[in-house]
Chains A and B, each alone.
Chain A
Amino acid sequence: MQEPEIKDENEISEENSKVYELGYLLIPTIKEEDAPVNYGNLKELLVSFNGEIISGEMPKMTSLAYSMAKVTSNIKNKFNTAYFGWIKFTMNSQKVLELKKHLDLDPNIIRFLILKTIKENTIATKRFARGEMYKRPAMKENAKNETAIPINKEEIDKEIDALVIS
């Protein structure tokens, strides 16, 4: 059983590598200067697992949508903020399992998520998507206001007249 497994690993490392993304939350007790150090360590870890880094983002301090708990040495710590960062990389699909086991033991990581993804940048589309969404309603609102104002004046005049007469 052992021999074929070893052969497989060598073959797979070249052929069977897939694109993955690792998103993670680092504990907020790390100093801001040390966050890039952690990022560097993670990169080294990925390279040591024969991973090839495509892109990534430095861990940034973010407030969490809900409080998370992590048990370290039998003490339950609650966190409302964390450093969120991500790295995109290619790796052999079997090595990723080892990576996951390794990250499970990391005391600095609250949570992490490994996903299959695509090589292309997926975030850059955000800007123009926003712009289009905001322009359309603004145009319509202006058009409505311009036409609506004169009608209102006439109506008000009529109402006032009606009140004065009564």
Chain B
Amino acid sequence: MKQDYFSANNIKYIDYKDVEILKKFLNPNGKIMSHKRTGITAKNQRQLASAIKHARFLGLLPFIVK
């Protein structure tokens, strides 16, 4: 992904309930992908990280995949 995914799809607020979108940015172990891999802007990367963490807290995403 070279272009910013969220600005390409006109997403201004990254919601923790959009699990399908958030899953794109997890690696097979359930870890958050790095800036380098996602290619999204720094601002969005920060929003993404907190959205994923909120989703994890409410059991929508796993903390770890064995």
Q: Which of chain A's residues have a CB closer than 8 A to the CB of B20?
A: 126, 130
Which residues of chain B from 11 to 66 have any CB-CB distance to chain A below 8 Å in the complex? 11-13, 15-18, 20-21, 24, 54, 56-63
Q: Are A126 and B21 in contact (CB under 8 A)?
A: yes
Q: How many chain A residues have a CB neighbour from B under 8 Å?
A: 25
Closest to A65 in B: B62
Q: Are B15 and A113 in contact (CB under 8 A)?
A: no
Q: Are A120 and B13 in contact (CB under 8 A)?
A: yes
A10: Cβ under 8 A from any B Cβ: no
A68: Cβ under 8 A from any B Cβ: yes
A25: Cβ under 8 A from any B Cβ: yes
Q: Total number of A-B contacts with CB less than 8 angstroms?
A: 57
Q: Are B17 and A23 in contact (CB under 8 A)?
A: yes
Which residues of chain A from 95 to 136 have any CB-CB distance to chain B below 8 Å in the complex? 111, 113, 115, 117-118, 120, 122-123, 125-126, 128-130, 132-133
Q: Are B54 and A125 in contact (CB under 8 A)?
A: no
Q: Which of chain B's residues have a CB closer than 8 A to the CB of A128?
A: 9
Report the Cα distance A158→B54, complex, angstroms. Answer: 58
A35: Cβ under 8 A from any B Cβ: no
Closest to A23 in B: B58
- Our pick among B12, B13, B54 for the contact of A113 (Cβ within 8 Å) is B54
Q: Which of chain B's residues have a CB closer than 8 A to the CB of A20?
A: none
Q: Are A62 and B18 in contact (CB under 8 A)?
A: no
Q: Which of chain B's residues have a CB closer than 8 A to the CB of A115?
A: 16, 54
Interface residues of B (CB under 8 A from A): 8-13, 15-18, 20-21, 24, 54, 56-63
**7 closest Cβ contacts across the A-B interface?**
A64-B59, A65-B62, A122-B15, A129-B9, A122-B13, A65-B59, A125-B11
